[in-house]
Every structure is written in C-alpha cells, then in structure tokens.
Amino acid sequence: MTAPVLAVDDLATHFFTRAGVAKAVDGVSFAIQRGEVLGLVGESGSGKSVTGFSLLGLIDPPGRIVRGSVKLGGEDMVGLSRERLRALRGKRIAMIFQDPMMTLNPVLSIAQQMTLAVHAHEKVSQAEARERAIRALIRVGIPAAARRIDDYPHQFSGGMRQRVAIAMALLHGPDVIVADEPTTALDVSIQAQILTEMRELARETGAALIWISHDLATVSSLADRIAVMYAGRIVEEGPTARVLRDPRHPYTRGLLGALPSRAVPGQALPQIPGATPSLLRLPPGCPFSPRCPNADDACRTEPPRATEGARAWRCHHPVMERAA
C-alpha cells in the first residue's frame, strides 16, 4: 500500500465557550489515498464540519486544535504558520461547502472570484488566470463557460452554482478535496448528478475526496470507505460494502436500521432511541452508551480501537452477527 496523501492522527478540536469546553472533535484518526473517496457520516452536530475545517486549519476562536496531527503528503499542517497554511489551502487541499448561495460572493462576478483564487497561488497574467478559470468551468460542465464566466452567482441555478464552487476547488488540482454536504441544499435530481460528477472528477484528477454527509444513503452510493462519526469521534470505519453489510458499532447499526431502503413496508422506521448528547456534558467512556442497547458497566470506560483487516471500530460490545 502506498503512503496516504492525507493522514489524520488523534485530531482534537475543542471550542472554549462560556458554557464550557465543547469537544467537537476528540481523537479522530483516518487516512486516505489518492483517488479514494471517504464518506464521513454522522448526525448533525457530530463534528463533521469541524473536522473538515480543522483539516484546512480554518478553526477560528473560541475553537482550537488541541491535539493530534494532519499530515498532508507527510507535512504536518497543525502548528504551521498562517502564511504556510494559506499557501496550502486551495492549492493542495480544497474545500466546498453546503450552500453555494452563501459561499460565493453575490457582488463579484464568477470571473473576479475565480481569478482571485488563481492569483492566490500563482503569479500569472489576468488573461491567463481567466483562461484557467474558463477551463475549470468547462471541466465541471458549465455550458458556454467563456460567456457565463462574467455572470454573477444569482444568474446561475443552484446546481450550476455548486458546479462553479467545485470548479474553484479544482483550479489548482488539489491532492485532497473536502466536500461538506455539497448537495444538501440542492434538488434531489441534481444531487445525484453532482455526486456522480464529483466522483468522476476526483478519479480523473487523482484527488482524494472526503465527502461529508448526514445521509448514509448518499454516502454509501459514492464512497469507497465510510467513517461514522458520533459526538466528535469516529466510532466505526471501513470499506463501504462491508460496513453496510456487517456493521460492528451499535450506532452504525442503528443508522442502517433507520434507512428508508431497509424499511419493512407498513412499519414505522426504527429510530435510535434517545437524543444526541450535548458535547458539553458527555458521559464518561463511550458517548453512545446512554442510547445503546448493548451498554453495560464496561461502557463507562473509553472503548479501545479494535481493528480487523481494513476496518476499525471503537466499542466494548461490537455487533458480531452476520446480517447477510
């Protein structure tokens, strides 16, 4: 196996708020290869976005990376100078967000925004930067890109706007792309299109793609591997097919049980009992234990990371039956 392009080890990002310390990300580890798609799933508030921002060094006070490392091609991004981080962002690791209506600047044309992004990393002429931007737009499938580039965000449809954002992320051919729920704000029909296109683009350019979503169904159709987050940790991780077929963590199992595709007709979808815990008042040990059917006294202590081949989980009482 070749060295991973991105290796995250024991990453912890905490928010020091008045109400207390919110451990939004607490001991996350994973690695990703070139051309691979990793799906990061979990309920809203489980720390997926904070993980994504931490990878780019984009955590603002009161938040701070308190522990761990993010190695991009061997270089640890944690603790880098502002300028060095800036030079990596957009160039070697890029990110796209949920709602392109909010991320693109409404009063600058696409051309202006994209040439700024080109010039952030390369000293080329205005004409050349524009040329590069047009090529990037063509690659993501914007029709009449050479003309449309002078339009403003509001003149594009939602799907086209997100394509523009993707084009911006691809400008410098990054090694890693973090996509934080990029299709959640879009129509269902367009979601699937963008999903497929993103995977194709990642394959073509050899970029590693981290696809963040609260929707297990979306991720499972796209990702080579899946990492399931709960309360700031990755509780289970492994090849998509195996995790779906044979979940080890009771939380993953609960998520799978709640998928509409697995529903028994006429019956309500089984939900995981209880609610997501407040990050400020996590129970000792396994954070899922208060909602877990398998929990016992052992779960008051931190579960160790267990591995089996390419997969890993953190649970004292993993589910071991074979579903299929």
Partner 1 sequence: MLGFVIQRLMQAAAVMLVMSALVFIGVYAIGNPIDVLISPDADQHTRAEVIARFGLDRPLWEQYATFLGRLLQGDMGRSFVFGMPVLSLILSRLPATLELTLLAVISATLIGVPLGMYAGYKPHSPVSKAIMALSVLGFSVPTFWVGILLIFGFAVQLGILPAGGRGQTVNVLGVGWSFLTLDGLKHLALPAFNLSLFKMSMMIRLSRAGTREIMLSDTVKFARAAGLSERVILGRHVLKLISIPIVTVFGLELGSTLAFAVVTETIFSWPGVGKLIIDSISTLDRPVMVAYLVLVAFLFIIINLSVDLVYATLDPRLRKGRG
Work out the burial of residue 80: count CB atoms within 10 Å of its CB; fewer than 13 is exposed, 13-18 middle, 19 or more buried: middle
Residue showing tokens 């060295």: 3
Burial call 169-194: b when 16+ CB within 10 Å, e when fewer: bbbbebbbbbbbbbbebbeeebbeeb
The yes or no reply on residue 48 touching ligand ADP (CB under 6 A) is: yes
DSSP string, 204-217: HHT-EEEEEES-HH
Nearest residue (CB) to partner 1, 4 versus 174:
174
Out of 38, 279, 299, 312, name the contact with ligand ADP by CB under 6 A.
279
Choose one: 43-51, 74-82, 219-227, 298-306; the region binding ligand ADP (CB under 6 A): 43-51
Half-sphere exposure of 231 (CA within 13 A, CB side): 19
Please identify, using beta-carbon distances, which residue of 156 and 230 lies nearer to Mg ion: 230
Q: Which of 4, 39, 42, 159 is close enough to bind ligand ADP by CB under 6 A? A: 42
109 or 205: CB nearest partner 1 = 109
Q: Is 90 in the site for partner 1 (CB under 8 A)?
A: yes
| 59/129 with CB nearer ligand ADP | 59
Q: Is residue 103 part of the contact set for Mg ion (CB under 5 A)?
A: no
Among 6, 12, 24, 111, interactor with ligand ADP by CB under 6 A: 24
**Candidate residues 29, 33, 69, 109; the one interacting with partner 1 per rule CB under 8 A:** 109
Q: Which is nearer to partner 1, 165 or 286 (CB)?
A: 165
Cα dihedral sign, 194-200-201-203: positive
Buried b (16+ CB within 10 A) or exposed e, 119-136: eebeeeeeeebbebbbeb
Q: Measuring CA to CA, which residue among 310, 71, 100 is closest to residue 176?
A: 71
Give the footprint of partner 1 on this chain (CB under 8 A). Answer: 53, 56, 58, 86-91, 94-97, 99, 102-109, 112, 116-117, 120-121, 151-152, 154-155, 165, 168-169, 171
